Copies of this chain bind each other. A is one copy, B any other.
Amino acid sequence: MTTWGESHGEALGVVIDGCPAGLPLSDGDIQIELDRRRPGQSALTSQRKEPDKIAILSGVFEGKTLGTPISLMVENADVISKSYEDIKDTYRPGHADFTYDEKYGVRDYRGGGRASARETVGRVAAGAIAKKILALEGVRTTGFVRQVGDIVAEEVDYDQIEKNPVRCPDAKKACEMARLIEKVRSEGDSIGGVVEVVTSGLPTGLGDPVFHKLDADLAASLMSIGGIRGFEVGMGFEVARRRGSEANDVMYMDDDGRLRFRTNNAGGLLGGISNGEDLVVRIAVKPTSSISKTQETVDRQGSPKELQVKGRHDPCLCPRAVPIAEAMVNLVLVDHLLISRLSRIDSLGSG
């Protein structure tokens, strides 16, 4: 997978190489996921109006994948570049303006350019294809907002997730989260949170020690999303406080003769390889850097500036991070699902 595109360029897109041939695929399969990522879905998100309409440019013929590279593109529609002119020489706090200048010596300052969250359009589009392949194997990934500020979801009812604008699986906490988000927005500020992603139906044996353990690849994939500050699997940082006798998951044989674990502290992995239990990962999402509150900063010459970031920004990144995180998890899983077919000599004769 290769993504391309700047926030306010001509278009953004992704090329997916290595998708198996024969998978039924339509625009609709991809559009449905892009619509979950799109701004303007609810009062809690940015009001930037991007239709984000997907075009499949190659790799699909008569409704099926060809096995050749799939090129997907979304044109940029609602581009108001003019509004960025006044900040082209000022470094926005929390943004990558300074580091892009340092690294490349040049930068597309319009809307964050390549560093914009808009870059994830291509990821979500690619993830929609991964999701379809995984579904064929009975693998299903569900993301949701576990925490916003100090409010933590306790109930997890998947049916609730898409029913509230926060994408929180706990209806009661969802209301509290929505109120908190509204409050920080009204104060010209933003708030962080935690997104959790759970995958069920995963076969055992996915993950490639020692450098491509499933959790290592998931960490890289999720940490590559903008604004993510932490990753954990299963019990996560809580393990620091625990003893081995508490943290080890006890095995047993279930009634179907399948080896299972009584607890899932490990989050579905042992030694970086899937163990058949639900895969559970979480990411820490920072509060949106673009806030309308006045902030101190400097310009490219280092002169002090005061800045109020205008534009239409999400007060909390979490709700829209859910489909992105799902996509990144699915992309890693489909890769590992494919290559796991090659780990034993006795399974090669079947191809």
Choose among B6, B230, B235, B242 the residue that contacts A233 (Cβ–Cβ < 8 A). B230
CB distance A351 to B347 under 8 Å? Answer: yes
- Contacts A68-B209, A217-B220, A250-B297 supplied; 12 other A-B pairs, CB < 8 Å: A4-B15, A22-B346, A67-B104, A93-B248, A94-B244, A96-B209, A102-B275, A229-B235, A230-B232, A251-B297, A253-B303, A347-B350
Choose among B69, B150, B287 the residue that contacts A2 (Cβ–Cβ < 8 A). B69
Whether, in the assembled complex, A174 has its beta carbon less than 8 Å from a beta carbon of chain B, the answer is no
CB distance A302 to B6 under 8 Å? Answer: no
Task: Kindly provide the distance from the CB of A213 to the nearest chain B CB, expressed in whole angstroms.
Answer: 5
CB distance B241 to A192 under 8 Å? Answer: yes
Q: Which residues of B contact A246 (CB under 8 A)?
A: 287
CB distance A237 to B284 under 8 Å? Answer: yes
- Nearest CB to that of A150 among chain B residues? B241
A298-349 contacts to B (CB < 8 Å): 298, 302-304, 337-349
A-B contact pairs, 28 of them (CB 8 A): A3-B69, A3-B210, A5-B58, A10-B58, A12-B58, A13-B58, A18-B342, A20-B344, A68-B113, A94-B270, A96-B271, A96-B272, A96-B273, A99-B270, A103-B206, A103-B340, A115-B271, A133-B348, A184-B243, A190-B245, A191-B242, A210-B224, A213-B224, A216-B223, A216-B224, A229-B232, A238-B284, A341-B351
CB distance B274 to A99 under 8 Å? Answer: yes
Task: Kindly provide the distance from the CB of A278 to the nearest chain B CB, expressed in whole angstroms.
Answer: 15
CB distance A346 to B291 under 8 Å? Answer: no
Q: Which residues of B contact A186 (CB under 8 A)?
A: none
Copies, count:
4
Q: Which residues of B contact A102 (CB under 8 A)?
A: 204-205, 273, 275-276
Q: Which residues of B contact A149 (CB under 8 A)?
A: 240-241
Alpha-carbon separation in the docked complex, A266 to B228 (Å)? 10
Whether, in the assembled complex, A175 has its beta carbon less than 8 Å from a beta carbon of chain B, the answer is no
Task: Kindly provide the distance from the CB of A235 to the nearest chain B CB, expressed in whole angstroms.
Answer: 6
Choose among B113, B147, B184, B189 the residue that contacts A61 (Cβ–Cβ < 8 A). B113
CB distance B288 to A244 under 8 Å? Answer: yes
Alpha-carbon separation in the docked complex, A346 to B276 (Å)? 23
CB distance A348 to B6 under 8 Å? Answer: no
Alpha-carbon separation in the docked complex, A27 to B192 (Å)? 42
Q: Which residues of B contact A32 (CB under 8 A)?
A: none
